[in-house]
Amino acid sequence: MSTYIFILGKDRNLSLAELHARYPNGKFDGDGDFEILEIDQKIDQSEFNHLGGVIKVGELVAIVNRNNLSNELTQQLIAHHSGSKLNYGISVYGWSEKNLRSLLLDMKRNLKKEGVSSRFINQQFKNVSTAQYKGLKGKGIELLVAVHGDDFLIAKVIAVQDIDSYSERDFEKPFRDMRVGMLPPKLAQIMINLAGDSKTIWDPFCGGGVLVMEGLLMGRNMLGSDINPETFEGAKKNVDWLGKDADLFLHDATQPLKGKKFDAIVCEGYLGPPQTRLQSPDRLKPLLQELDELYVGFFNALVEINFKGSIVIALPFFRCIGNQELDLKSTIEKIEKMGFVLNPKILKYARHDQVVGRAIYRFQYR
């Protein structure tokens, strides 16, 4: 059994939902910006690369009280030290970063007393960034201090978010269509994890194929379809660029899909035309009507093919004039009436300046 401390991303609810879905047998506890997971499974960088909602993870090495903190940190650093100069970083969570200055200066003094020449990489006595950790990896060590009640948990960082790989997948793929909202790869990973450990996933609104690509990288078999031949060709190019294979085809999602096998559906549906300005709820009515027809049609087609697996779908919500928010509430009610059971925890994702956000719904046929 090992205990890990995950540092959560800025959308805390999404990060937590993802961790709980990916590790259903884990024991969880947490506080603010971190989550503790006890599990009989090894978590390393390649496992961590399949999580979209977390920033770094450390393996627990000690639990101490405040009085023993400096001493224990010193001992941990010495124990992990090899080579001549000890390069290290310390980051604190659940505790003000203001505490870092005296902690780091304490460590420096303690290490000197022990005859260890050292250098800390924290800049301006702030937490270590993921980019800084990359420079340290293999040459030094980062320790996390997470304060949980009266306990000071010390963990050794074992993996961090691979930001370069995300931006390569996001910005360097051959087909990018700015007219349709492109799903950030991290959100695609979170959605795939929310669907549990399904082996074959269908994205019926695949657009340029972000979900299909992320699913392939996570070792799933992927089916992707779209009604639009141009985006469909784009998805094919993107999957080729990745050097992987998926079953991609043209299909109208409101029609029953026959002759294909899959055990989960994960998708970002059509969000409507791009919107840059806040609208009044009245002006959005025709769009809501159009989306209602599309999604009622889609779920009806799933009933027709007797689909019983899990469905994770991102649908739009609209920020309107007068601080109001409009979502597809009445459409969701219709879907529930068809027999799809909705997980009551709806997860929302939107940048602060976005007019159209994504609400992630999780359904299971009863």
Ligand X SMILES: C[S@@+](CC[C@H](N)C(=O)[O-])C[C@H]1O[C@@H](n2cnc3c(N)ncnc32)[C@H](O)[C@@H]1O
Q: By CB under 6 A, name the binding residues for ligand X.
A: 180-183, 204-205, 207-208, 210-211, 226-228, 231, 252-254, 268, 270-271, 294
| CB closer to ligand X out of 143 and 192 | 192
Closest residue to ligand X: CB criterion: 207
Q: Which structure tokens are listed for 343?
A: 């997980």
| CB closer to ligand X out of 58 and 207 | 207
Q: Which structure tokens are listed for 144?
A: 């996390």
Minimum CB distance to ligand X, residue 244 (Å): 16
Minimum CB distance to ligand X, residue 358 (Å): 9
97-107 burial: b if 16+ Cβ within 10 Å, else e = eebbeebbeeb
| CB closer to ligand X out of 44 and 168 | 168
| CB closer to ligand X out of 72 and 268 | 268
Minimum CB distance to ligand X, residue 294 (Å): 6
Strand partners, 222: 201
Instruction: Tell me the C-alpha distance between 255 and 234, whole Å.
Output: 22
Q: What are the CA-CA distances from residue 32 to residues 36, 194, 271 (Å)?
A: 11, 21, 32
Minimum CB distance to ligand X, residue 145 (Å): 38
Instruction: Tell me the C-alpha distance between 192 and 356, whole Å.
Output: 22
Q: CB–CB of 51/19 below 8 Å?
A: yes
Q: CB–CB of 152/69 below 8 Å?
A: yes
| CB closer to ligand X out of 70 and 228 | 228
| CB closer to ligand X out of 211 and 328 | 211
| CB closer to ligand X out of 114 and 233 | 233
Minimum CB distance to ligand X, residue 12 (Å): 23
Instruction: Tell me the C-alpha distance between 310 and 300, whole Å.
Output: 15
Minimum CB distance to ligand X, residue 91 (Å): 32
Minimum CB distance to ligand X, residue 183 (Å): 4
DSSP-derived secondary structure letter, 98: G
Which DSSP string do the residues of 222-275 spell out, in sequence order? EEEEES-HHHHHHHHHHHHHHT---EEEE--TTS---S---SEEEEE----S--
